[in-house]
Structure 1
Amino acid sequence: MEQIYQEVIKGFQRMTLPDIIAMVFGVISVLCSRRNSVWVYPTGLISTGIYTYTLAQAHFRLYAESALNAYYFIMSIYGWYNWSRNTTSAGDHVGISVVNRRELGIAVGIVIIGWGILYMLLHNFSDSDVPALDAFVSATACSGMWLLAKRKIENWIFLNISNLVAVPLLFYKKYESLAVLTIFLFIVAVDGYFRWRKLYRQQLNENKP
């Protein structure tokens, strides 16, 4: 534990200004997501934009996660537009729902197909030394982000599967600051899942005749 602690401290000491900005806005973004606030997207655009560049650098070589953040960036624009169309007069965002069978099939399909495609690309056309894990983290997160844009409760499940695998991967890659951020995201996502379930039940009660 002492060695891990020392590595984490060293990781934070190595943080650059862009790293700090990306982490701060990443934390703000996930907290906004937990609160079902549209600000998850503009804050997320800043964080994902920086991580798209950082993760592709030669000392990390996490190309799938870099591409994932580029996907996050694009989906944040879509999600921002989609969420902004559905607001109350007070600016609160509603419309949380659960996946139906078709949507669950699509979400699982994104994971399976995305994992296979990303692994093939990383294994054959990059110098990645962790193609399977990098591809899996990205595929599950892609699915979770798609569900988040549609305001589905299950987005938290897919995102946390991704986070769970990403933490040891990031420690292995000596990106300790992002690993610690991902642990924080995991904890918030667990709480976010139950918070969204509560909001969903409140929605159902309010819509009862």
Structure 2
Amino acid sequence: MIEEFLSELTWLQAFGTIFGIVQVVLARQNSVHTYLFGIASILISMWVLYQSALYADILLNMYYLVMSVYGWVYWKFGKQKAEVPISTVNKNEFLKANGIVLGCFALMSYWLFYHTDSDVPIWDAVVVAFAWAGMWLMAKRKIENWVYLNISNIISIPLLMYKELYIYAGMSVFLFIMGTSGYLKWRKLMSKENQTVYAAA
């Protein structure tokens, strides 16, 4: 019975990882289709995380699901009914992003401490807090999303290994590498977009 349970989780982790890898590769390429693969990965991850009692990460994935739909619409149409370009955060967005980190950490750590049987409440809350802010910035097509997501990724690696979710831990290593590459790629794309706008003007 235990072997069947572990086999099921491993199988699901593998499928979730494949979809997640495709998602981040498409995100690096600045493709709006990243969200379609992301939704598939999210749904699988929610079940695996539930079985592993990583409750804050389940809420994170529910948030991801909502933001994936929002991000797809925003990337595709934006406010001007045209594809939104990559940009950097302004002061207000920077404050909002850090407010999301602090607010999410406070809420998640309290909830995990007092309302769940989590044995890693602080650890789990930190991972989720930075990921929430990173996903919000991703939906806004802000280059700084990679920084926040990579902070979440680097912290989640030992957490997932502790929970014996080795495939997901390996995926987090991959996501960290791709996050670094994605930041550099977006910076080049943003520079090209700015040059195009300048030339057109």
Compute the displacement of 1:15 (Å): 5.1
- For the residues of structure 2 that align with 1:96 and 1:42, how far apart are their CA atoms? 19
Aligned to 2:74: 82
Counterpart residue identity of residue 73, structure 2:
Y
- For the residues of structure 1 that align with 2:54 and 2:11, how far apart are their CA atoms? 20
Q: Which has the higher helix share?
A: 2
Deviations 1:160-183 (A, max 9, x none): 000010001000110000000010
Counterpart residue identity of residue 74, structure 2:
N
Say whether 1:128 aligns with 2:103.
no
Compute the displacement of 1:31 (Å): 0.3
Aligned to 1:24: 18
Say whether 1:50 aligns with 2:40.
no
Say whether 1:170 aligns with 2:160.
yes
| Residue 157 (structure 1) aligned to one of 147, 170, 178 | 147
Counterpart residue identity of residue 59, structure 2:
A
- For the residues of structure 2 that align with 1:165 and 1:20, how far apart are their CA atoms? 21
Normalising by structure 2, report the TM-score: 0.91
Aligned to 1:207: 197
**Structure 1: which 5+ residue stretches go unaligned?**
1-11
Counterpart residue identity of residue 68, structure 1:
L
Identity rate, percent: 42
- For the residues of structure 1 that align with 2:11 and 2:120, how far apart are their CA atoms? 27
- For the residues of structure 1 that align with 2:134 and 2:8, how far apart are their CA atoms? 30
Counterpart residue identity of residue 149, structure 1:
A
- For the residues of structure 2 that align with 1:185 and 1:101, how far apart are their CA atoms? 27
- For the residues of structure 2 that align with 1:172 and 1:14, how far apart are their CA atoms? 19
- For the residues of structure 1 that align with 2:130 and 2:9, how far apart are their CA atoms? 27
Compute the displacement of 1:147 (Å): 0.2
Aligned to 2:3: none
4+ residue runs of structure 1 moved beyond 6 angstroms?
A: none
Aligned to 2:99: 109
Contact 2:49–2:55 (8 Å) recurs in 1: yes
Aligned positions, number: 191
Contact 1:140–1:158 (8 Å) recurs in 2: yes
- For the residues of structure 2 that align with 1:61 and 1:18, how far apart are their CA atoms? 16
- For the residues of structure 1 that align with 2:171 and 2:50, how far apart are their CA atoms? 18
Aligned to 1:65: 57
**Structure 2: which 5+ residue stretches go unaligned?**
1-5
Q: 1:53 to 1:15 in 2, by over 3 A?
A: closer
